[in-house]
Amino acid sequence: MAQLFWDDVEIGMEIPPYKKAVTLMELNRYAGANEEYVLIHMDRDYSQKVARLPDVIVMGNLKYAYLSNMMINWIGEEGTLKRLSAQYRGMDIPGPALSTEPTMICKGKVTNKYIQDGDHCIECEVWTETNEGQVTTPGSAIAILPARS
Amino acid sequence: MAQESLITDEVRAAIGVETVSPPELVEMKAIKDYARAINWPDPPNPLHVDEEYAKKTRFGGIIAPWCFYTTLGRSAPRQRVPLPPARVGMNGGNDYEYFLPIRPGDMITTTSKIVDIVEREGRAGKLIITTSERTFTNQNGEVVGIAHGTGLSQY
């Protein structure tokens, strides 16, 4: 993928969306890699009957990882992610097994660009949306990009 | 509010107390498994799994995915907060600052502390919001990053 340069970024510019079909497979794989064995991410009975949730829910840490994937894919290898924050405000429910239909979409847009201590910085608003367009994970990001000049 | 606050002086005393983990080895397999999990079913970013590829980048070798911070500091002594067990605990948010890449073979020390504990009356009952901070230091004494976290406990 072509490298993104600071010069070519404008305030208001949209980050290419990152879509994900999240199923229990993705949750289980992440639970293993992150040693995050928490029942509300694993067991539907527990989620509904004990935790009183509508279903198993996608772990916040995995939604964070997807937002970071979106940023890393966009800023490229010469870009440097400096800060990324995400707030888990709403629930994301995994889709059916083997489904390839996206259940969530990471989106973002550029809110600021500036030069600080010689670094060419950008700030972005980022978030995840459900298929119904509900924002479940608002956040923000700061990155340093290479400059052409 | 007739009901008593869950935040007693003993709970408040936990705020600001630092705990330090023993240095923790960052294993190559852990990096690769994590990189695969966050991209599944798509292929992982080669920067985290392919040494030949990573060598040719400005990083000079494999580095951990940025969000790998979620795995760190588990071996830190648990800060005892004398709150009753919650009905459900949830992650309220992550805010990570990235200073330096984490590499396989790094020995990371995690310094953790609770920054604040507040109580809210939620729709479903009492909610305790705990904000915390973890600072990650590598074997060279360099701070590689800081993780600010928010934990939600529903009563």
Q: CATH 3.10.129.10 in chain B, residues?
A: 9-25+72-154
- Whether A79 maps to a domain, the answer reads yes
Q: Is B91 close to A88, i.e. CB distance below 8 A?
A: yes
Model ipTM?
0.95
- Whether A54 maps to a domain, the answer reads yes
- Whether A19 maps to a domain, the answer reads yes
Confirm or reject contact between B74 and chain A (CB < 8 A).
yes
Q: Which helix (H) or strand (E) holds B29?
A: helix B28-39
Tally of domains within chain A? 1
Taking chain B, what is the end-to-end CA distance rounded to the nearest angstrom? 16
- Averaged over successive runs of 10 residues, the pLDDT of chain B (155 residues) comes to 79 94 96 98 97 98 97 83 88 97 98 96 88 97 98 92
Residue B126 — φ and ψ, nearest 5°? -70, 145
pLDDT tens digits for range A48-68: 999 889 999 999 999 999 999
User: What CATH topology corresponds to B9-25+72-154?
Assistant: Thiol Ester Dehydrase; Chain A (3.10.129)
pLDDT tens digits for range A102-147: 999 999 999 999 999 999 999 999 999 999 999 999 999 999 999 9
Alpha-carbon torsion angle B69, B133, B149, B74, nearest 10:
50
Q: How far does the CA of residue A65 sit from the closest CA of chain B (Å)?
A: 6
Task: Indicate whether A92 pLDDT > 90.
Answer: yes
Confirm or reject contact between B131 and chain A (CB < 8 A).
no
DSSP one-letter string for B31-61:
HHHHHHHHHTTSPPPGGGT-HHHHHTSTT-S
- pLDDT at residue number B88: 83
- pLDDT at residue number B28: 98
- pLDDT at residue number B1: 47
